Amino acid sequence: MRFSLPPVAVAPSLKPNFWDLALIPVIFALLALLAYGGAQMSIPYDVGEPLPMSLDPSNLPYYLLRSALRMGAALVASLFFTLTYATLAAKVPALEKVLIPILDILQSIPILGFLSITVTGFIALFPGNLLGVECAAIFAIFTSQAWNMAFSLYSSLKTVPNDLIEASNIFHLSPWQRFWRLELPWGVPGLVWNMMMSVSGGWFFVVASEAITVSGQNISLPGIGSYIALAIADKNLGAIGWAVLAVLGGIIFYDQLIFRPLVAWADKFKVDSLPGEQVPDSWLLTLMQRARFFRFMTQLPTMLWDIFTGLLRRQDDDKLFHRAPGPLINFPPWADRVWDVVLIVAALVALVEVSLFINGEVELHEVGMVLLYGVATTIRVSVLIALASVIWVPIGVWIGQRPLVAQNVQWIAQFLAAFPANLMFPVAVILIVHFDLNVDVWTSPLMILGTQWYILFNVIAGASAIPQDMKDAAGNMKLKGWLKWKRFYMPAIFPSYVTGAITASGGSWNASIVAEMVSWGDTKLEAHGLGAYIAHATADGDFPRIALGIAVMCLFVMAFNRFLWRRLYMLAADRLRLD
């Protein structure tokens, strides 16, 4: 497999052609920006030193660059994490037993609670340099991106078709070669899709993670997020407007320059595209495949890549047979038992440790309170998902029936999902204060502001995928009204709806940490809920309470997933698939 974008022609003429004229400036501009932004990330810095921030919109492109770079760095880190973590989990059964449950838990941990815990460590890692704080912010974004990518690759690795594995054995590929030539390529479409989802969710965390509080000190890293934080503190609505535009630019930048080409390229790794499915295309990829100079430029990387993935051939060349394929590492059965015991003991020790840590600070009745807060937030999330479903499912189905509308709306919905909803929070504060509304009720919609779009665009996708013959049959039987919904639309879109609702619900839990405690200037609104509890403890740097809050939220999210979403998902997968 080649990761270079264009297929290298046998004897390409290397004279630059028309396409090069367009492409070369783009590439050099990108490289220059990368270098400049990178240099700015590692300037000397001591905690307490104020970083200059200004609300002048002319600074926004620079801030955008810094935020986008953080996003990129987090994405690269997530990719490395995915390649190692998912591969280990898929290849070593003893590790799989630990790594997969951990991933499951990590996925339900509220990311925003992480930040204050990790930032101290990162600063200690790079004393006297801004890189420490940058790393903490990047880590926060990383934690919002990595888990689903790792899950995606893991499940791909577990589902590599058996005949392809047999073929790679018959043709004597070494485990190393098999990974790069078979297993990773097999996982590429899923991985690219999940990267796109991750970045889409990542903008929210970029905004939330740049203004950090460490041991009473506020650090604002230059970036869109800090700009917004400053605008909120200054009650500057105009600046918020500029920030919205800048984020829009960032989203388009990532979409056009990175994900469009990536998705178009990943299409070749799909085993079979369904007939009628639109083949994704990208102007940038087309440009790169046509530009001669660029093809020339990629020849060397392609060759290096081929050499790299072709490394580690089977060492038993001279023998008649090579070793029969098996698991990467084989442990004797007793080692398995010992390992189980070690895991159980470790889990118990950790449980005791955490209880002691929390118990030293927090009274038992407060734990009860926190559980009640958890119930309050659960109710908010459930009611809002239900409301959003009632609104968006009919609209999504309507749109999905009209291919021309769907194409445009689909793009807008995906964009809205990427848009950091926390930008809109100030507006809510102003409205709530102005109309003197109940804070517990009216801050709730903020939780779903950014995540409801997942429901919409999944429903649209589901509705557009309903086969024409089924629609014809429904029309032929003159299905109408509620009956048509009950017997036709709802079962047909159910699997895609569940996928969307799971994403929306997970996102809402996370968003509750910023949505239950919002501010505008010195006006602070705080609802009763688990999110507000964690946000409060984070602002105070109160680690036992952060730990308690996170643990309880984790518990609720996992229970929610296990008892509701996973069951619905199984039901959808088993009963209601259209194929």
Query: What are the residues binding another protein (CB under 8 A)?
Result: 1, 7, 161, 163-164, 166-167, 169-174, 177, 181-182, 185, 188, 268-273, 310, 313-314, 317, 320-325, 575
Pick between residue 384 and residue 492 the one whose CB is nearest to another protein.
Answer: 492
Query: How many other β-carbons are positioned within 10 Å of the β-carbon of residue 202?
Result: 26
Tokens for 136, please give them: 């903490």
Tokens for 201, please give them: 């969710």
Torsion sign across C-alpha atoms 151, 154, 159, 161: positive
Pick between residue 268 and residue 524 the one whose CB is nearest to another protein.
Answer: 268
Strand partners, 519: 524
Q: How far is the CB of 8 from another protein (least distance, A)?
A: 11
Q: How far is the CB of 95 from another protein (least distance, A)?
A: 20
- Do the beta carbons of residue 495 and residue 577 sit within 8 Å? yes
Pick between residue 66 and residue 181 the one whose CB is nearest to another protein.
Answer: 181
Pick between residue 124 and residue 271 the one whose CB is nearest to another protein.
Answer: 271
Strand partners, 524: 519
Pick between residue 268 and residue 337 the one whose CB is nearest to another protein.
Answer: 268
In three-state form (DSSP H/G/I as H, E/B as E, the rest C), the secondary structure along 133-160 is HHHHHHHHHHHHHHHHHHHHHHHHHHCC
- Do the beta carbons of residue 316 and residue 174 sit within 8 Å? no
Pick between residue 322 and residue 566 the one whose CB is nearest to another protein.
Answer: 322
Q: How far is the CB of 179 from another protein (least distance, A)?
A: 13
Burial class (CB in 10 A: 0-12, 13-18, 19+), 385: buried
Pick between residue 60 and residue 173 the one whose CB is nearest to another protein.
Answer: 173
Pick between residue 487 and residue 524 the one whose CB is nearest to another protein.
Answer: 487
Tokens for 36, please give them: 């400049």
Q: How far is the CB of 192 from another protein (least distance, A)?
A: 13
Q: How far is the CB of 169 from another protein (least distance, A)?
A: 5
Supply the DSSP string of 541-565, one letter for each residue.
T-HHHHHHHHHHHHHHHHHHIIIII
Q: How far is the CB of 316 from another protein (least distance, A)?
A: 9
CA distance 136 to 277: 41
Pick between residue 93 and residue 310 the one whose CB is nearest to another protein.
Answer: 310
Pick between residue 2 and residue 235 the one whose CB is nearest to another protein.
Answer: 2
Pick between residue 181 and residue 295 the one whose CB is nearest to another protein.
Answer: 181
Strand partners, 217: 214
- Do the beta carbons of residue 223 and residue 70 sit within 8 Å? yes
Helix 292-310 vs helix 18-41: crossing angle, to nearest 10: 60
- Do the beta carbons of residue 122 and residue 133 sit within 8 Å? yes
CA distance 304 to 522: 57
Pick between residue 271 and residue 390 the one whose CB is nearest to another protein.
Answer: 271
Pick between residue 307 and residue 390 the one whose CB is nearest to another protein.
Answer: 307
Q: CA neighbours within 13 Å on the CB side: how many for 487?
A: 13
Q: How far is the CB of 13 from another protein (least distance, A)?
A: 18
Tokens for 463, please give them: 């509705």
* SS3 assignment, position 212: strand
Q: How far is the CB of 7 from another protein (least distance, A)?
A: 7
* SS3 assignment, position 529: coil
CA distance 467 to 277: 12
- Do the beta carbons of residue 149 and residue 191 sit within 8 Å? yes
CA distance 80 to 197: 17
Q: How far is the CB of 314 from another protein (least distance, A)?
A: 7
Q: How far is the CB of 104 from another protein (least distance, A)?
A: 23
Tokens for 28, please give them: 């050099």
Burial class (CB in 10 A: 0-12, 13-18, 19+), 457: buried
Q: How far is the CB of 344 from another protein (least distance, A)?
A: 21
Q: How far is the CB of 537 from another protein (least distance, A)?
A: 46
Q: How far is the CB of 163 from another protein (least distance, A)?
A: 4
* SS3 assignment, position 55: coil
